[in-house]
Amino acid sequence: MTAPSLEPMPEDWTRGLAVVAHPDDLEYGASSAIARWTDEGRDVAYLLACRGEAGIDTLPPAECGPLREAEQRAAAAEVGVSVVEFLDGHPDGLIEYGIPLRRDIAAAIRRHRPELVVTGNFHETWFGGGGRNMADHIAVGRACVDAVRDAANRWLFPELGEPWSGVRWVAVAGSPLSGHGVAVDDHLDRGIASLTAHRAYLAALDGEMADPGSFLRGHAAAAAEHLPGARFATTFELIAV
């Protein structure tokens, strides 16, 4: 049975906000699409729930967190993103879905006023049938979807300022329910460069995920098989708001 084709992502928007759990989450695929969007003149900001301080076994959190924050800023710059924000109070590896996380994300949505919100996969598995997802990804993705609604409701978190109901879509990167895609033929190299910027993190890995070029080219080529006319693609589950 042939897998269904992916539909193109909407293009009638100008401001985006990407909300994920850790440094490197966006770089494993979505950043290639973000490179295309910024090249087209769209404004995209990043919000990360933590600094990835528990992500490298050989580095204590107090040393690892600042290093990974700097790598994330360098990664964002590779794809034309200059605004990178980090939340406090949500420790790496122990991020919990709940009101505090929803509140923090809703505050960022009201501040940045995006039309498109990008988040990471919050399902149990990945696009293409990959392995099991992790708790931090699930918590942040779920909270992000709910925070979009929270940000639009003036009676929730009134201390955060005026509501913002202008989000039109939430795009979930890497979702097993992906029905949309972005051709990144001319932008994949910048996506690879953005992942390569996580030098300390990659140095602690082994196998395919430690090789940015091989990993991203392989996955982008596989996704493009479902997006007519593309050589490389990034996939999203698109949730209309």
Q: Tens digits of per-residue pLDDT, 129-141?
A: 768 899 999 999 9
pLDDT at 33 over 50: yes
Strands 7-8 and 180-183: parallel
pLDDT of residue 209: 73
CA-nearest of 211, 222, 171, 19 to 101 is: 19
Number of residues that this document lists for the chain: 241
Which DSSP letter does residue 164 get?
-
3-state SS, residue 106: helix
130 vs 109: CA distance, rounded Å: 30
Query: How would residue 3 be classed by pLDDT, with cut points 50, 70 and 90?
Result: low
d(CA 58, CA 114): 38
Query: What is the four-CA torsion angle of 79, 81, 85, 90, rounded to 10 degrees?
Result: -30
Whole-angstrom distance, CA of residue 217 vs CA of residue 184:
10
Q: Is the pTM of this model over 0.85?
A: yes
Count the Cβ atoms, other than its own, within 10 Å of residue 7.
15
Structure tokens at 232: 């490389």
Report which of 122, 63, 112 is spatially closest to residue 84, judged by C-alpha positions.
Answer: 112
Q: pLDDT grade, residue 142 (50/70/90)?
A: very high
Pair 182, 9: CB distance under 8 Å: yes
Of 74, 45, 50, 78, nearest to 64 by C-alpha is: 50
pLDDT in tens, 69-89: 999 999 999 999 999 999 999
Query: How sure is the predictor about 30, in pLDDT bands with cuts at 50, 70 and 90?
Result: very high
Cα–Cα distance for residue pair 217/29, rounded to 1 Å: 9
Least confident of 169-173, 193-197, 210-214: 210-214
Beta strands in the chain (DSSP E): 7-8, 15-20, 43-48, 84-86, 116-120, 169-173, 180-183, 233-240
**Mean pLDDT across 211-229:** 94
Q: How confident is the model at residue 206 (pLDDT cuts 50, 70, 90)?
A: confident
Query: Which of helix, strand or coil describes residue 116?
Result: strand
Under the banding of pLDDT at 50, 70 and 90, the label for residue 2 is: very low
How far is Cα 148 from Cα 99, in angstroms, rounded to an integer? 13
43: which 2 tokens? 């404004």
3-state secondary structure labels for all residues of 187-232: CHHHHHHHHHCCHHHHHCCCCHHHCHHHHHHHHHHHHHCCCCCCCC
Confidence of residue 1 (pLDDT cuts 50, 70, 90): very low
Confidence (pLDDT) at 4 = 72
Q: Tell me the pLDDT tens digit for each residue of 90-110.
A: 999 999 999 999 999 999 999
Mean pLDDT computed over 150-171: 98
